Structure 1
Amino acid sequence: MKDDPADADALRLAQLGHAQSFERQFSRWTMLGLSFAILNSWTALAASLSLALPSGGPIAVIWGLVTAGICNFSLAASLAEMLSAFPTAGGQYHWAYMLSPPSIKRGVAWVTGWINMSGWIALVATNSALASTLIVNMVTLLNPTYEYHRWHQFLIYLAVTCTSFAVNAFMQRLLPQVNGVALAWSIAGFVIISITVLACAAPDYATGEYVFATWINETGWPDGIAFLLGLLQGGLGLTGFDAVAHMIEEIPDAAIEGPKIMLYCQYIGISTGFIFLIVVLFVSGGLSNAETVISSPSGPLLQIFYIATNNRAGAVCLLVFPLICFIFAGISVLTTASRMTFAFARDGGLPMSATWWKVHKTLGVPLNALLLDCFVVLIFGFIYLGSTVAFNAIIAASVTALGVSYGIPVFFNLLSLRRKLPERHFKLPGLVGWAANIIGLVYTIITTVLFVFPPFLPVTGTTMNYCIVAFAIIILISGIQWIVDGRKNFEGPRITIDESAHRGSLAE
């Protein structure tokens, strides 16, 4: 029994201070399905064309993805090392605690945990918002006389969120299968849409010069800053790769398989996203249609599908693939967010922590954490009812918050000259490790600063980037909670199990 891999995983978790709370029911492929369902890079990149097209045009779309891809892969490799060394659901805040100087490690872990948890909850809202936007875009294209009201989209937003909650709360044992289907659906959609639009648009393709070498800058910023602002599209399409870290207590051979999954999902995301964006730009009609695509009330992606197929119903049918991808993503993001909330509460990082890290005995899920996350997402929805600009700040804050949570443990790993990580199954060799850490950290710093810039000049109330306000609110709430509770009760990753007792139970 001592040689049982499940026992080895449970013992490793016990060495890190925690009992096994969940079944390790995910395989490598179903966890890869969950991780890639969250990235859904080709879908997210295509759905967010409006971020990069006016901020650099096709050059920013294609080469911005290459830039973001190299940097995000470097970040993923940097975090994969830490995941192999400390495979717990806490992820970044646990790693930051282990790698930072003793005098500040409690505060560093606290801030990292709050930022990371907030980013994941905001990402749930982002997926529900993107899915609801695609549905509204379908209605707008099929019915040009449709009069849009914000509450219409709010109701769709609620329906998508409730669907994600229901699957997570009551279909826990089916989650691996759901994520396997999500991976298959995403790859199938990528192939089917690519072939269909290329066939329908032939031979009226855009030129290679347009796709790879055309610059468009409608932001008012200098060209260099405009290009960097366009990296937000690549950042959105490749963020969330830490999902496997927060789900790591639910897969076997965690220290070995976790890092592989983290890198595999980045590789699949970058390669499919790069190919799909090239296809989309080739069938978009080129420079003559660029302004129509950018300003389309149906959204850039659906407008391109319509240009390629010249058929409204056909374009809407193609958009069903990304729509279902976002619904799958919403399920997976909520799964991950609830595990992050569970882990942070387990370590005493939240008000009434004992409530939020309970695992429901019958359902086998952290039900209270799920309810808490969905309640916050509902609050975000009410913000959307009041102001689209404010809600867009939440979406931008999700990308920024996750990026900051990636950069903090990488910074402290470099500060310790990469010497604090213990022996691990996945290890970046010498100079490769240094290069990955430095590239990832520099990218995080640059994008964190630039992603809070207004996307357009001159700045008005509607073009202002309120991401900095949303991010400041996260820090403010975290600071208040630290003063009220954290400084007295938060000690970093807690010891919730006696390792020696656990060893004894395995030996019996």
Structure 2
Amino acid sequence: MKDDIADADALRLAQLGHAQSFERQFSRWTMLGLSFAILNSWTALAASLSLALPSGGTVSVIWGLVTAGICNFSLAASLAEMLSAFPTSGGQYHWAYMIAPASIRRGTAWATGWINMSGWVALVATNSSLASTLIINMISLLHPGTYEYHRWHQFLIYLGITSTSFAVNAFMQKLLPQVNGVALAWSIAGFMIISITVLACAAPDYATGEYVFATWINETGWPDGIAFLLGLLQGGLGLTGFDAVAHMIEEIPDAALEGPKIMLYCQYIGISTGLCFLIVVLFVSGGMQNTDRIIESGAGPLLEIFYIATNSRVGAVCLLMFPLICFIFAGISVLTTASRMTFAFARDGGLPMSATWWKVHPKLGVPLNALYLDCFVVLIFGCIYLGSSVAFNAIISASVTALGVSYGIPVFLNVITLRRKLPERRFSLPAGIGWAANIIGLVYTIITTVLFVFPPFLPVTGTSMNYCIVAFGIILIISGFQWIVDGRKNFEGPRITIDQSAHRESLT
């Protein structure tokens, strides 16, 4: 049975133009571990409370996540159909090419590929930054008033975390499934242990239900409606990256069915654990009297809440070790996914010197050159942080925006072609549900893409300006320049890199 599934996967990949480059060593559980390790929703949502609390208060935190959850689940369901139809590591750019009208398909696929790849590489930098921030927060809490922060401290930690991710991906390929299985178990265990501990320690001094579910705060200077929508950035950050399974699809068996399921499973687990955890941390936060303290804490909002709940610096730091290790696992998984996306785009001729990046190391079994390229770009991002934290924050925001745009493009194409371009597939939504999911996801993408480049606060100053639009613009400029000098001549969309008839004969 397994051999039949493996043959079917290889033949389907061959029909899409490619040979099997990687061993299909991931199971449903371990691939779900990789996908959820990247989302890390409960950790990312709690660590980014400072984004939503000033921009709508707990109303934005809780109900913003519900809103973002419904919309992101709709997006995931929309993309799951495309993944089932075209299960290759190229993901969104491959789907865009297959669905778009013939006159624009090459340019659309090119732009989608560059935007998606840039978003994933920036997400590697984002993850290393968040993990290094947690370590700096621990030091700040344990040494209040004595620790003097310098950006180069965080830069060195950032390099260490990125180097760890590279080492695991480059030299421990055979262990990646086990690592991701452990990551999923660790994340769920951390969610439960922290929730039980802080609830026990804070009892009976909980915040009121009114505070947790119905407190409105708007310190942004924007009208209330805009402030709530800007607060969706927290939910967007905690639920983005669900296309990871698409870029790893050539490494799981029964890909056309299991891939879409995993994409939806990781969203469901992320939304449910994230919502439960946010409710817990808000209940143990002490309520309105501690809100300003949490927002302005030098130790970060999550660690400050742990400290309030446990009344122990050491206890708070011990609890924060769960999210920190989650972020380290996430760094490994994000780099794995980014390297596969880089590999796939180079395989189709989308990068300068594509032949260099489209190589699988014969002994290590990984796209080593793609890993080198991604880590080099992440190093450059880190050097930017040394010069300007504002510029680096723009890169972080751009990662969420870029991934969102890459989700929206194929969904938009599917809508304007009346959902008729997708071939018969093993995972398919009923027509009514499919249309609803496409439209909800598309509207959410358009609104958030526009609003996420707004300045978070008014009046705007040089440091409060949102430079995400600049970072995203640079991506488009580089992509456009490459299209002019190379892409329009040499990029034909997904390439045929295998003799299909010969491959079919080898399987019979």
TM-score interval (norm. to shorter)? over 0.9
SS at 1:146 equivalent: coil
Give 1:91-490 correspondences, 5 Å limit. 91-144=91-144, 145-490=146-491
**One-letter amino acid matched to 2:45:** L
SS at 2:220 equivalent: coil
Contact 1:49 1:233 in 2 (8 A): yes
Rounded to whole Å, the distance in 2 between the matches of 1:451 and 1:137 is: 26
**One-letter amino acid matched to 1:68:** A
Contact 1:51 1:233 in 2 (8 A): yes
Rounded to whole Å, the distance in 2 between the matches of 1:248 and 1:497 is: 18
Contact 1:53 1:294 in 2 (8 A): yes
Rounded to whole Å, the distance in 1 between the matches of 2:56 and 2:406 is: 28
Rounded to whole Å, the distance in 1 between the matches of 2:164 and 2:46 is: 24
Contact 1:37 1:328 in 2 (8 A): yes
Rounded to whole Å, the distance in 1 between the matches of 2:161 and 2:47 is: 17
Rounded to whole Å, the distance in 2 between the matches of 1:150 and 1:91 is: 36
Partner of 1:16: 16
Cα drift, residue 506 of structure 1 = 1.1
Cα drift, residue 498 of structure 1 = 1.4
Residues 265-320 of structure 1 deviation map (CA, whole Å, 9 limit, x = unaligned): 00000000000000000000000000000000000000000000000000000000
Rounded to whole Å, the distance in 2 between the matches of 1:369 and 1:357 is: 7
Rounded to whole Å, the distance in 2 between the matches of 1:242 and 1:291 is: 36
Rounded to whole Å, the distance in 2 between the matches of 1:5 and 1:259 is: 16
**One-letter amino acid matched to 1:134:** L
Residues 194-253 of structure 1 deviation map (CA, whole Å, 9 limit, x = unaligned): 000000000000000000000011111111000000000000000000000000000000
Residues paired across the two proteins, number: 507
Residues 74-110 of structure 1 deviation map (CA, whole Å, 9 limit, x = unaligned): 0000000000000000000000000000000000000
Residues 5-60 of structure 1 deviation map (CA, whole Å, 9 limit, x = unaligned): 11110000000000000000000000000000000000000011111011111000
SS at 1:101 equivalent: coil
Rounded to whole Å, the distance in 2 between the matches of 1:170 and 1:9 is: 26
Cα drift, residue 2 of structure 1 = 11
TM-score for the superposition, normalised by structure 2:
0.99
**One-letter amino acid matched to 2:407:** Y
Residues 157-200 of structure 1 deviation map (CA, whole Å, 9 limit, x = unaligned): 00000000000000000000000000000000000000000000
Cα drift, residue 442 of structure 1 = 0.2
Gaps (5+ residues) in structure 1? none
Cα drift, residue 434 of structure 1 = 0.2
Rounded to whole Å, the distance in 2 between the matches of 1:226 and 1:407 is: 23
Rounded to whole Å, the distance in 1 between the matches of 2:405 and 2:55 is: 23
Contact 1:201 1:283 in 2 (8 A): yes
**One-letter amino acid matched to 1:331:** I
**One-letter amino acid matched to 2:33:** G
Partner of 2:48: 48
Q: Percent identity?
A: 88
Rounded to whole Å, the distance in 1 between the matches of 2:281 and 2:385 is: 30
Superposition CA RMSD, Å: 0.8
**One-letter amino acid matched to 1:99:** I
Rounded to whole Å, the distance in 1 between the matches of 2:52 and 2:395 is: 19
Contact 1:168 1:331 in 2 (8 A): yes
Rounded to whole Å, the distance in 1 between the matches of 2:169 and 2:497 is: 25
Rounded to whole Å, the distance in 1 between the matches of 2:378 and 2:435 is: 38
TM-score for the superposition, normalised by structure 1:
0.99
Contact 1:2 1:8 in 2 (8 A): no
SS at 2:338 equivalent: helix
Rounded to whole Å, the distance in 2 between the matches of 1:446 and 1:498 is: 44
SS at 1:4 equivalent: helix
**One-letter amino acid matched to 1:49:** L
**One-letter amino acid matched to 1:72:** N
Residues 471-494 of structure 1 deviation map (CA, whole Å, 9 limit, x = unaligned): 000000000000111010000000
SS at 2:103 equivalent: coil
SS at 2:24 equivalent: coil
Residues 387-425 of structure 1 deviation map (CA, whole Å, 9 limit, x = unaligned): 111100000000000000000000000011000100001
Contact 1:137 1:297 in 2 (8 A): yes
Contact 1:219 1:456 in 2 (8 A): yes
Cα drift, residue 3 of structure 1 = 6.3
Contact 1:306 1:312 in 2 (8 A): yes
Cα drift, residue 505 of structure 1 = 1.0
Partner of 1:90: 90
Rounded to whole Å, the distance in 2 between the matches of 1:500 and 1:11 is: 10
Gaps (5+ residues) in structure 2? none
**One-letter amino acid matched to 1:455:** P
Contact 1:137 1:299 in 2 (8 A): yes
Rounded to whole Å, the distance in 1 between the matches of 2:179 and 2:356 is: 28
How has the CA–CA distance of structure 1 residues 220 and 126 changed in structure 2, closer, same or farther, with 3 Å as cutoff? same
Contact 1:306 1:314 in 2 (8 A): yes
How has the CA–CA distance of structure 1 residues 153 and 281 changed in structure 2, closer, same or farther, with 3 Å as cutoff? same
Rounded to whole Å, the distance in 1 between the matches of 2:194 and 2:5 is: 41
**One-letter amino acid matched to 1:80:** A
Rounded to whole Å, the distance in 2 between the matches of 1:152 and 1:2 is: 50
Runs of 4+ in 1 over 2 A off after TM superposition: none
SS at 1:425 equivalent: coil
Rounded to whole Å, the distance in 2 between the matches of 1:293 and 1:207 is: 17
SS at 2:299 equivalent: coil
**One-letter amino acid matched to 1:113:** G
SS at 1:458 equivalent: coil
Rounded to whole Å, the distance in 2 between the matches of 1:3 and 1:257 is: 16
**One-letter amino acid matched to 1:364:** G
SS at 1:441 equivalent: helix
Residues 321-346 of structure 1 deviation map (CA, whole Å, 9 limit, x = unaligned): 00000000000000000000000000
Contact 1:2 1:506 in 2 (8 A): no
**One-letter amino acid matched to 2:96:** A
Rounded to whole Å, the distance in 1 between the matches of 2:96 and 2:499 is: 23
SS at 2:22 equivalent: coil
Rounded to whole Å, the distance in 1 between the matches of 2:264 and 2:344 is: 23
SS at 1:203 equivalent: coil
Rounded to whole Å, the distance in 2 between the matches of 1:345 and 1:22 is: 15
Cα drift, residue 430 of structure 1 = 1.1
